[in-house]
Structure 1
Amino acid sequence: MIKKLIILAIIVVIAVFIRNSPYSEYLTFSYLEENSDALLAYVSDNRYISIISYVFVYIVVAGLNLPGAAVMSLSGGFLFGAGFGTAFAVTGATLGACIGFLVSRYLLGDVLNTKYEKQLAKFNKELAVNGYLYMLTLRLIPIFPFFVINIVAGLTKLRLFTFFWTSFIGMLPGGFVYVYAGSRLSNIESPKDIFSPGMISAFILFGLLMLVPVVYKKVKGRV
């Protein structure tokens, strides 16, 4: 138990340090705009190092729930283009989510499972009935913050591999919206300009389509 608390304390200290350090300025929209030319030049000269660094930073941001995930996705589109940017951003976000999942399962499990036993029983029931479709829906339609989903999922009986692939696929549409916007960064003056009516409509439609199997199962079960 003491080892778990020490590891958890180290993680918290790292997260707090990054949040309050000058490095947090690198995860802002203004920094991306002000240094766009320099960043593009660096990526052009150091392609593979840039990709590895980008994915690593995204893992840290997502894993520690640091502010800046949206800016990271925008950066992915701006630096690598919509296609590769989406792949790199979603990979980083998914691996970061897995860190939250594992921290919850192996460091917080004993405490949180006891405290929220009834709530977790409901979540486990949904997983048993709807399986991976339930996780896909939670990822695709962000009713709850992604970090909360990571923590709660880690407390359930969900397998890590299932969590990984459902998170990856479920985050693709939303990730693409931000990355695509980043690839058009020169036309965006603030983060509020990310969503065009066409992109919003496509995102909502995709989400509704993913809900159909779950709704169908529930309706069928009542007939």
Structure 2
Amino acid sequence: MTNPTDPETKTKDRKGLLWRYLPIATLAAGLVAFLTLGLHEYLTFETLKANRAELLDFVGRHLALATLIYVTCYAVSVAFSIPGGAVLTITGGFLFGLTTGTLATVIGATVGATGLFLAARLAFGEVLHKKAGKTIQKMEAGFRENAFNYLLVLRLIPLFPFWLVNLAPALLGVTLRTYVIATFIGIIPGTFVYTSIGNGLGAIFERGETPDLAIIFEPAILIPIVGLALLALLPIAYKKIKARKHNPAETEPSHDEPSHP
């Protein structure tokens, strides 16, 4: 039997804690360094406009390499929760066009989100699960039961911070497979909207204008996306209605059984 006070055991425990928290600590430190150095100030349309000729020339001569660099940069920005995702997405549309830009962005965002998910799950998932009370455990079970649909809704509706939707499932015990598939599918509509803006960014620059990042909240765009989110909720609603029909006693308040002679 291992003695918890044994020096060798303590050393192993410390190493285990180090490896558990190292990934998430690295991501947090990277974000702090990025903001402290002021690098986010270069993630603007002004920077893109000033360097567009060189960027387009590089993409034209090295399309595969440029696409790989873009996907990698996008994945890193998402994993480190660096602000400016909309600017990057529009840049992808400007450099690669609607189809390639959308696909490259979705792949990069999914890879980066998965990295953050795994780091958060490794650091906090098991600890929170052990310390969670019955109420939290019940919430976890309810979320996991319909994890794909709930995640799809969170990804589709552009009201929730992307970094928050990346972290929360890791703390609620969502499986990696469900997380990756729901993320990949759920971010496609919003990505398509911003990439399409980037596809016409050259004309916007020529007019001396700046892209409207709030366009996704226009009714003509937001309503169809919300409609998709509601469709994702339908299976959950159906399952709950079906469960109530088969188990009506579970939805009614309990009463004391009458005594029998």
**Is 1:194–2:210 an aligned residue pair?**
no
Aligned alpha-carbon RMSD (Å): 2.3
With normalisation by structure 2, the TM-score equals 0.75
Distance 1:12 1:43 in 2: 31
Q: Is the 8 A contact 1:109 1:155 kept in 2?
A: yes
Q: SS state of the match for residue 172, structure 2?
A: coil
Shift in Å at residue 190 of structure 1?
A: 3.3
Q: Is the 8 A contact 1:29 1:191 kept in 2?
A: no
Matches within 5 A, 1:145-184: 145-184=161-200
Shift in Å at residue 84 of structure 1?
A: 1.0
More displaced 10-residue stretch of structure 1: 210-219 or 177-186: 210-219
Paired amino acid for 1:205: G
Distance 1:138 1:20 in 2: 30
Q: Select the structure with the greater relative contact order (CA < 8 A; seq sep ≥ 6).
A: 1
Over 3 Å counting, the alpha-carbon distance change for 1:41 and 1:116 in structure 2 is farther
Distance 2:212 2:190 in 1: 14
Distance 1:126 1:197 in 2: 29
Over 3 Å counting, the alpha-carbon distance change for 1:63 and 1:120 in structure 2 is farther
Q: Is the 8 A contact 1:25 1:31 kept in 2?
A: no
Shift in Å at residue 175 of structure 1?
A: 1.0
**Is 1:125–2:142 an aligned residue pair?**
yes
Distance 2:141 2:45 in 1: 38
Q: Is the 8 A contact 1:27 1:68 kept in 2?
A: yes
- What do residues 135-188 of structure 1 show as CA deviations (whole Å, max 9, x unaligned)? 212211245322222222112332212210111001111111111111121336
Distance 1:166 1:200 in 2: 19
- Hey, which of these two has a bigger chunk of helix by percent? 1
Distance 1:108 1:29 in 2: 37
Distance 2:137 2:43 in 1: 34
With normalisation by structure 1, the TM-score equals 0.87
Unaligned runs of 5+ in 2: 1-16, 246-261
